Amino acid sequence: MIGKDRLFTTLEKVMADSKADQTEAVFLGSSVGLTRFANSHIHQNVAETNTTVYFRVAMGKKLGVASTTSMSLTDLRRCLRAATDIAKRQVENRHFDQFPGQQDYPEVETFFEKTAKFSPRQRATKLKRIFTKTINNNLDAAGAFSTGEGEVAVLNSNGLRCYQPYTTASGNIVIMGDDSSGYVNFVSHNIDDLDFTALSNTALKKCKKSKNPKEIEPGRYEVILEPAAVANLLEWMNFIAFGSKAFQEETSCLAGRIGEQIMGSNISIFDDALNPAGVPFPFDLEGVAKKGVEFVADGVARGVVYDTISGNKENKQSTGHALMPSESGEGAMPLNVFIKPGDSSLEQMISNVEKGILVTRFHYINGFLDTRKALMTGMTRDGTFLINNGKLSNGIKNLRFTDSMLDVFSNVAEISSESVSIPGWWDAMGCNHVPAMRVSEFNFSGKTDF
For residue 408, the model assigns a pLDDT of 99
User: pLDDT of 113-156, one tens digit each?
Assistant: 999 999 999 999 999 999 999 999 999 999 999 999 999 999 99
For residue 326, the model assigns a pLDDT of 84
The yes-or-no verdict on residue 111 having pLDDT over 90 is yes
Query: What's the CA dihedral at 87, 3, 278, 364 to 10 degrees?
Result: 50
Distances (CA, A) of 345 to 196, 400, 418, 438: 21, 26, 7, 10
Give yes or no: residues 62 and 157 share one domain: yes
User: pLDDT of 192-204, one tens digit each?
Assistant: 999 999 999 999 9
Mean pLDDT in residue range 206-227: 98
Distances (CA, A) of 259 to 253, 297, 388: 13, 10, 39
In 80-206, the DSSP E strands lie at 140-156, 161-176, 181-188
Give yes or no: residues 51 and 27 share one domain: yes
Q: What is the mean pLDDT of the chain?
A: 97
Give yes or no: residues 196 and 231 share one domain: no
Give yes or no: residues 150 and 272 share one domain: no
Given pLDDT bands bounded at 50, 70 and 90, which one contains residue 378?
Answer: very high
How large is the greatest C-alpha to C-alpha distance in the chain, in angstroms? 72
User: pLDDT of 272-284, one tens digit each?
Assistant: 999 999 999 999 9
Q: Give 298's contacts (C-beta < 8 A, 6+ positions apart).
A: 265, 266, 267, 268
Given pLDDT bands bounded at 50, 70 and 90, which one contains residue 328?
Answer: low
Give yes or no: residues 31 and 120 share one domain: yes
Question: How many other CB atoms are there within 10 angstroms of residue 158's CB atom?
Answer: 14
Where does a domain end: 203, 235, 250?
Answer: 203
Query: Residue 423: which H helix or E strand, with range?
Result: strand 412-423
Where does a domain end: 179, 203, 227?
Answer: 203
Instruction: Give residue 227's region: left, alpha or beta (phi > 0; psi -120 to 50).
Output: alpha
Give yes or no: residues 257 and 381 share one domain: yes
Give yes or no: residues 232 and 198 share one domain: no
For residue 327, the model assigns a pLDDT of 73
For residue 331, the model assigns a pLDDT of 82
Where does a domain end: 174, 203, 232?
Answer: 203
Mean pLDDT in residue range 232-251: 98
Calculate the CA 289 to chain-centre distance. Answer: 19
Give yes or no: residues 346 and 302 share one domain: yes
Task: Indicate whether this model's pTM tops 0.75.
Answer: yes
Domain that holds residue 366: 212-447
In 7-139, the DSSP E strands lie at 22-38, 41-59, 62-68
Give yes or no: residues 97 and 191 share one domain: yes
Mean pLDDT in residue range 327-352: 93
Q: What's the structural domain count of the chain?
A: 2
Distances (CA, A) of 427 to 15, 146, 281, 400: 30, 11, 11, 27
The yes-or-no verdict on residue 1 having pLDDT over 90 is yes
Give yes or no: residues 287 and 381 share one domain: yes
Report the distance separating Cα 279 and Cα 2, nearest Å.
22
Q: What are phi and psi of 332, to 5 degrees?
A: -100, 165
Give yes or no: residues 242 and 368 share one domain: yes
Return the closest-CA partner of residue 187 out of 392, 432, 21: 432
Give the angle 347-279-320 at the CA atoms, nearest 5°. 125
Q: Give 193's DSSP letter.
A: G
Calculate the CA 382 to chain-centre distance. Answer: 20
Residue type, 317: Q
Q: Give 87's contacts (C-beta < 8 A, 6+ positions apart).
A: 20, 57, 58, 59, 62, 63, 64, 327
User: pLDDT of 390-420, one tens digit each?
Assistant: 999 999 999 999 999 999 999 999 999 999 9
Give yes or no: residues 85 and 144 share one domain: yes
| CATH number of the CATH domain containing 151 | 3.30.2290.10
